[in-house]
Structure formats: structure tokens, C-alpha cells
Structure 1
């Protein structure tokens, strides 16, 4: 099959070349959108990532250009109009669980870094400053951590937090019985947020979860609490979070995702002027730590993404069951 891979970075090429099962690949650095959809002409399959935009207009262009299949090299699919794809008879397949531990471990890294300020200590020591002033953190042992969403990633984080001796509360419309057996306490969103020292988000982005962290839910946070988001940027109303940081209702913020990350993340913008005023404001806070959607980025995860994507394509070719098809 002829496959066009959009939003391609060098590491995508490395892993998709290594695990190629006999397909012809073309890599496009550009993201897929209404302006670049014409590039897919002549390809059977397009392979996409989180910031590619696949709306009805794009899908109609893809269909007219002969595209038969869309494969996502990620778990999230909020950037694809699934109903429109179904209407055009273009199946959309994804990688539902490439490495839950990778994202959970990154969330834990954000928590530890923000708390113990190791990033600041590193820079100080490199400049010959060995002072401990303003580097004080707090014990995680016995602290209440609210995990919002206990799917594969949220569950992996709960297991990590258990090792630190945290008190874990959780919110999910489908409580996990194994986590309950470990002592995780489920409640409503309001009950779970109340009194938590740390809140970590692990939900898909849907209409029901968009901006679930806003000025109203932030009022439920313990004064000075930490908020971590390694899931989807749209779960957070960024303007409301900025206000919560300014008035110190929110004490720490760790982000691996950002609602307007398209055009920013996965690119070197160091020589340009960032036009997004919200992210530049966030970067200015001393108690904010932002990474550029790297939570998934481990060797194990990249291997799983490549192999599962090829398995999805092979299933389509062989008219086998499309177990990873996105259905809404």
C-alpha cells in the first residue's frame, strides 16, 4: 500500500522504516489540514498524529483523491470527524494503548520536578549557586492525589502513586475494581477534587470533558494545589487556569499538552516570536512546568505505535476484523 505519513519527525521515520511490513511510505513534515490535504492524492492510506486536522472538508478531499483508510498513530481521535469519515466509507483506526506506563511516568516526573524543584536546582548548581533557598518541597507520602480518569494511563499512575504512599481518590464513570481493591476511593468529580493536594488529568477529550477544569471547578481545589495534565489540552480552560495561578488558588501547574499546541509543539520556535499570549504568560510563571507533548515518547511506545499501525493496515488489506476501528 502507498502510505502518506503527515506531521512526520525524524523519529517517526526511524521507527516506521524499521518495522515496515512491505509498504511504500512518503513522509510529509506538514500537518494534514484543508490546505495540505491535496498532498494525499494517489495514496491508499494516510497516517496521522494528534495535531492533524481531519474535518469534513479534508475528508471529502481525501475521498476524492482515492484515500481508502486513515490510521492514527495515537490513541486520541478528537481531531477527526468520525461521523463524516463513516459516511464517506473511510475507516479510522487508532493505537489505543501503546504505553500507558510512559505517560503515567511522565506525569509522575512533572509532579516530582514541580514539587522538589530539581529543574531549578540543576540550573543553580551549573552557575555555582548551591543555596537551598526557595527550593523547599513537600512529602508525597500521605498526600491526597486526585486521578481524573482511570483508564490504562490513570490506572498506571495510581499504581505508581501507591508506591509513594499517597492517598488516592479517583473519578471515572467506569470505576476500576482492581483499583478499588488497592484502596483507591472513587467519588463524584466534586468529591474527588475537594481537598486534593495534586490533581492529575487522564481523560479523553469529548464534549462532556472539554474545559472540565474551569473557574468553577478550580474553586473546589485545595488552596495551593498542583494540577497536572498529560492527556489533552482542551480539558483545561487556560484563561481560567492563568487567573487561578495569579491569585494563588493554584500553586503549581504541569502541562505536557496545551489546547492551542498545533503550530507550536513538535517544532523549534526558538528563533521566532511566539504569537500565543496565553502560553507565553504560562511560561513566565515560576511554578509552571511545560513539556511539549513528550509523555508518550519512549522507545517502547514508539515501537508499539509503529507495529500496531502496521497491524491495523494489514487487517484492512486482509479484510479481517478492524479491532482498533474508532466507532462513535
Structure 2
């Protein structure tokens, strides 16, 4: 097949463009020709509704999926945690890049005294909201939407004590808040800190190019986390956290998975270390443990509440 220019589809936020340019540079270094095509998504346009009220999972990926299916772009670059566990027919996972920082961080104003009493924290994530309320039941959590820069600006403009961000997102665009502290007790979103590149399943030239960018350790760990999410049927909206880490000295995987009620009062968790050979079904079996210990009922309640 003749050499072609690989068109990289991306959202036009600063973070999305950073991710697209990162993939572009890696492909260029390997000798491939590329072109960046910015596409606006509904998730960026509709900022006045919480994500789960928009009624679709993958709101940030849907516009790019359509552009790819229509032949306007060849690949799309996403924060993997935003991507639904089931990809549209015809689109495949082509590469998972080496993972960045997985932790959530708190950007706060003033000092941290509010942690001892009443505070107001902003986040658009049900997972972060539930885990925060589980640890700080006297606090109030308010909704926060928009790209990273906009959310940081909203924090400055409002009388909230702080807001929760993914460390990887802030690090990628060198956006340092005045006061930042790692929330090391919070289990991240499945695949947090990882970048996913998708392409059309029949585009062999592009798939071959992207195969050189894949990081196998990140691919395995994010597969486990997303399998856990998919088995719980969480989509992108339920309060579900998952983190798999590979220990190369012992050749084991350490997996932590959590499901919370929306108010944070109920918490179901798994925490296990297994030999690497057991990775393929680890997410599935961990999710089954949670479903069998009250998780099925809790998931039904969550879906019911979100419908209202």
C-alpha cells in the first residue's frame, strides 16, 4: 500500500491537543507522515449539564468515532478513562501508550483546615464525589464541568475549598495550581493516566504504524481495570474505581477495585495480588465478587437514581 498521511482526530482542548501531538511526534519519529484534525465534541459544547445527565457514555469520544467512520480522520487519541468499554463496530484499540501518573490530586485554596470540619469540593465525577463523601461525610460536593483549564478557572472564581483533578492531566499541560496535594487514598478511574489510540479495524497501514507505540504493561493493567468496569456495567458514570499494578520483581499483579453508592455511604471493595498468568480474567472475577456481595443491588439502585 502506498504511504499515506495519517490524519489524527482530536478534541480541541489543550489537553486533547497535547495528547494528539504526543502521538504525532512518536509516529513522525518512526518516519510516518501525519496531520492533526481538531473536532469539537458534544461534551465540550454542553457545559451546563452533568455528564451522566447527557445520557450517553463516551460523550467525548462519540464525535471522533463518527469522524473516523465517515473517513474524515484515520485515528483518534483519547484519555483512556473517557472511552466506553465497548468500542463502536469497525473501530479497534490500536495502541495504549505507557501510562502516566494514576493518582487524583486536590487543588485547594488557602489551607487544608477545612478537611477537619465542613468544606465544599468541586468535581464532575461520581467516582470522586462518592469517595470524597465516604471519607468526609460532612462536606458538600458541587458539580464541576469543562476542560482542565476551565475547571481550574472556575475553582478560582468560586468560594469552594478545592477541586479534584487527575494528576496526569495537570502534568501534561504543565498546569500547576498554587496548592496541590495527592489524594493517595482515592482509587482512580479505570485506565486513568493512560492514553488510547483507536483506528479502523480494516486500516492495516495505520494499525501497523500504531503497533509500535503500544506499551504491553499498560495494555494489560488497563485491560484488567476496564474488564472490571464492564462486568459491573458501569459505563463511564457509576462510582467505580480500579487500579492494577504490575510487580516485575515478583511477576504479580496487584488489583484494587471499588464500587460506592452515590452518597459514598456504601463501599464494596476487592484488593488482591495474583500471579501474572491470571491477568486475563482478573477484572471479571473481581467484579463478580463485588456483584455477589451486594454490588448487583447497589448497581441497580445507582442506575435507578441516575434515570430520575
Structure 1-normalised TM-score?
Answer: 0.34
Higher-helix-fraction structure: 2
Determine which structure has the larger strand proportion and give its number. Answer: 2
Give TM-score scaled by structure 2 length: 0.36
